[in-house]
């Protein structure tokens, strides 16, 4: 089951990725349109993380082609974001400085980003001493400061407690809608992997189900949860497979 959104921001054509004898992705055709919120779901090892890394340019296809996309116009968050051994403010400012922003201006923009995610009070604290939820919020601030058109997230709330999950989900929803308490921003196209189907219902406009590296279903969120599905996807949604 496939749907093709108009105005593609990023396209994959016949993309396969192999690690030796293991085929992580198999002939994937995919189009991501500007403004979409796309959830990738499937069992462990289904290819979700590999697909995200292909979309971000971190993993080149073994075969096939990726069209569109620009590393300077997109950002990726990992399940356990890397924190530099310095302050929260510097973790954001350094990302801007590496993009050519003068240091004083980078720090000013970094503070705005921290304000947006509610971490301004922790600006001077060593980032590695923050809680898991705070670190994920800091990673979102760092990504938002770079003003990406496309935000990729790999299981962004998998290791967080319920309170931190709600906070990070709220930030993701704000980014997707272009909402911010202190500054305005354009909506961000978002592609995220998740095992949390409630989260998928809350945040996604479109759901892609993968199994053994193949896309078996690609549907609007309502159709995915309320309409007919391939048997493997149905078993996943009903909890009969992990």
pLDDT, tens digit only, all 242 positions of the chain: 444 444 678 999 999 999 988 899 999 999 999 889 999 999 999 999 999 999 999 999 999 999 986 655 888 988 888 899 999 999 999 999 999 999 999 999 999 999 988 899 999 999 999 998 899 999 989 988 888 889 999 998 887 888 888 888 988 888 888 765 444 556 789 999 999 999 999 999 999 999 999 999 999 999 999 999 999 999 999 887 65
Taking only Cα atoms into account, the Rg of the chain, rounded to an integer number of angstroms, comes to 18
The dihedral of CA 59, 29, 80, 90: what is its sign? positive
pLDDT at 30: 95
pLDDT at 2: 47
pLDDT at 65: 94
- The count of residues in the chain is 242
Domains and their CATH numbers in the chain:
8-81+131-237 (3.40.50.300)
Q: Residue 233: which of 6, 46, 14, 29 has the closest Cα?
A: 46
Provide the phi-psi class of 118: left if phi over 0, else alpha when psi is between -120 and 50, else beta.
left
Distance CA 151, CA 72 (A): 11
* Tens-place pLDDT, residues 28-81: 999 999 889 999 999 999 999 999 999 999 999 999 999 986 655 888 988 888
User: In this structure, are residues 191 and 55 in contact, taking their beta carbons and an 8 Å threshold?
Assistant: yes
Tokens of 138: 């800091």
Distance CA 141, CA 115 (A): 9
Predicted TM-score (pTM) of this structure: 0.87
Phi–psi pair at 21, nearest 5 degrees? -90, -5
Residue with tokens 């992990």: 242
Element (H, E) at 214: strand 214-220
pLDDT at 3: 47
Tell how far CA 1 is from the center of its chain: 23
pLDDT at 185: 57
Residue with tokens 């921001």: 9
Distance CA 163, CA 189 (A): 25
């Amino acid at each position: 089951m496939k749907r093709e959104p108009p105005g593609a921001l990023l396209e994959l054509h016949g993309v396969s990725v192999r690690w030796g004898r293991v085929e992580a992705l198999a002939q994937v055709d995919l189009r991501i349109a500007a403004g979409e919120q796309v959830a990738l779901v499937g069992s462990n090892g289904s290819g979700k993380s590999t697909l995200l890394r292909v979309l971000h340019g971190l993993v080149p296809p073994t075969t096939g082609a990726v069209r569109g996309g620009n590393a300077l116009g997109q950002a990726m968050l990992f399940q356990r974001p890397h924190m530099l051994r310095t302050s929260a403010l510097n973790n954001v400012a350094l990302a801007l400085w590496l993009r050519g922003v003068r240091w004083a201006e980078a720090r000013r923009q970094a503070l705005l980003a921290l304000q947006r995610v509610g971490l301004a009070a922790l600006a001077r604290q060593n980032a590695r001493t923050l809680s898991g939820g705070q670190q994920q919020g800091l990673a979102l601030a760092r990504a938002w400061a770079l003003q990406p058109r496309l935000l990729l997230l790999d299981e962004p709330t998998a290791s967080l407690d319920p309170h931190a999950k709600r906070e990070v989900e709220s930030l993701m929803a704000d980014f997707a809608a272009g909402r911010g308490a202190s500054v305005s921003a354009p909506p961000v196209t978002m592609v995220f992997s998740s095992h949390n189907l409630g989260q998928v219902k809350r945040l996604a406009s479109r759901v892609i189900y993968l199994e053994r590296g193949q896309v078996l279903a690609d549907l609007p969120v309502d159709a995915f949860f309320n309409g007919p599905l391939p048997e493997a996807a149905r078993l996943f949604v009903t909890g009969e497979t992990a």
